[in-house]
Amino acid sequence: MKRKAYIVLANGKVFAGNSFGASGCTTGEAVFTTGMTGYLETLTDPSYFGQIVMQTFPLIGNYGIIPDDFESAQPHVKGYIVHEWCENPSNFRSQGSLHSFLQTHGIVGLYGVDTRTLTKIIRESGVMNARILAPDGTDPSALAEAGAAERAMHGEHTAAFETMLAGIRAFTITNAVASVTGAADAIEKPAARVFAESAAYRAVPVNERGLKCNDAGKAAAAGRGKRIVLWDFGAKANIRRELLKRGAEVIPVHAGTTCRDILAQKPDGVLLSNGPGDPAENTGIIRELRALTESGVPVFGICLGHQLLALARGAETEKLKYGHRGANQPVKELATGRVYISSQNHGYAVVSGSLPAHASLSFVNTNDGTCEGVEYTDFPGFSVQFHPEASAGPLDTAFLFDRFIHLINRTGGTYAAES
């Protein structure tokens, strides 16, 4: 039986659809992602913390729920919007339906809305807050809000509706990194299993020429014996898997870890993970990261890690109008002129013109020219805004993990080697 539901945007626009997943009401930052596949990775990506995520691809859920593809143990979105969801998934790995998964984790879903129009609004007006109203008939306040939304659709803006709008506009995402750090710990796998599963699905290491290495020994040769600390700001599980495939020992540490404690691990390199929220709010992490870059340890930053590294070196960040989210974002490597298709999920970017003297642009977004990568010359480090681990794809830039391993091997005189 269909249950009517609504989404109310901060600009006052209301759209009606149907409820699936959990019932109730939820407020978050409304964003859209353009991936045609990878909805499981989207739902479980900690970087979506505090956000209502809308899929622009019209049919979602056709291959069901596959826990082995999760990026963390549970979803982090505030709400989920699709045009149509598949009630009868067909995949030999499926262990349930999208509806049941959302319901189990208390995620309010909305389908049957015009996602194309919603996307245009966000793209043209910019990211804005929103509220999904999906009452089940037992909560009087939720029913009252739904009634106010229904009347607003017909031009009657009641006092209750204006009060609801004020609450929507006042919403902010807070304590983001601290809320999701370590979210992937529960689904970690040993290195041998990671490579065996990856080889079975051909998601093995890929070099700069796009060639895959199916031989575990060869793939792990350069990184064997290297100790890499994964500084977890909300890390996707596949970041760790990509390091394990290359033979490295990976030591995850939570976001609040100090530089001193990281160096006590005697790392050969440190990888700064993705994560949610405004990077500039993480002043404590930025301070510790600045000290880390002065230690001589090679550093590789991804997404939020890329932004935090830039802030630690004196650059600035800014919020984008509607961000980059999806698996089809083109980026150009300035050193080669080669364009790669990348997977991305971010609402902030490093301001290219604010980079310090010992930093240079390495990648740019070919759609809007924003910063997609930075190389540093005053310490052994580099970073990218996109996701080279790219689960669920594409694999174009996975070679950057090999580049990190090669940087570790070239540097030699790291803190770990000298201590």
pLDDT at residue 358, rounded to an integer:
96
Instruction: Please state the length of the chain.
Output: 419
Tokens of 286: 């930025």
Neighbours of 371 (CB within 10 A): 26
Structure tokens at 311: 């802030």
In angstroms, the CA 267 to CA 226 distance is 8
Q: Cβ distance 305 to 389 under 8 Å?
A: no
Asked whether 81 and 115 are in contact (CB, 8 A), the reply is yes
3-class SS of residue 169: helix
- The pLDDT assigned to 202 comes to 66
Residue 362 contacts residue 409 (beta carbons within 8 Å) = no
- Best CA proximity match to 146, nearest among 157, 130, 159, 134: 134
The whole-number pLDDT of residue 418 equals: 46
Return the pLDDT at 176. 97
Q: pLDDT value at position 197?
A: 83
Strands 269-272 and 227-232 turn out to be parallel
Q: Is 140 left (phi over 0), alpha (psi -120 to 50) or beta?
A: alpha
For residues 168 and 29, give the distance between their C-alpha atoms in angstroms, rounded to a whole number: 9
Question: Can you tell me the distance from the alpha carbon of 400 to that of 395, in angstroms, rounded to the nearest whole number?
Answer: 11
At residue 230, the pLDDT reads 98
Looking at residue 115, its pLDDT comes to 97
- For the annotated binding site, the residues are 47, 275, 277, 304, 307, 345, 347-348
pLDDT, averaged in runs of 10, over the chain (419 residues): 93 97 97 94 97 97 95 96 96 96 97 97 96 92 94 94 97 96 93 84 76 84 94 97 94 98 97 98 98 96 98 98 94 97 96 97 97 97 96 87 95 54
Structure tokens at 418: 């000298």
Please give the C-alpha separations between residue 293 and each of 264, 290, 301, 376, in angstroms, as whole numbers: 15, 5, 12, 10
pLDDT of residue 415: 46
Q: Which helix (H) or strand (E) holds 332?
A: strand 317-333
pLDDT at 416: 47
Neighbour tally for 205: CB within 10 Å: 27
List the binding residues for L-glutamine: 47, 275, 277, 304, 307, 345, 347-348
10 Å Cβ neighbour count for 275?
A: 33
Catalytic residues, which ones? 303, 387, 389
pTM over 0.75: yes
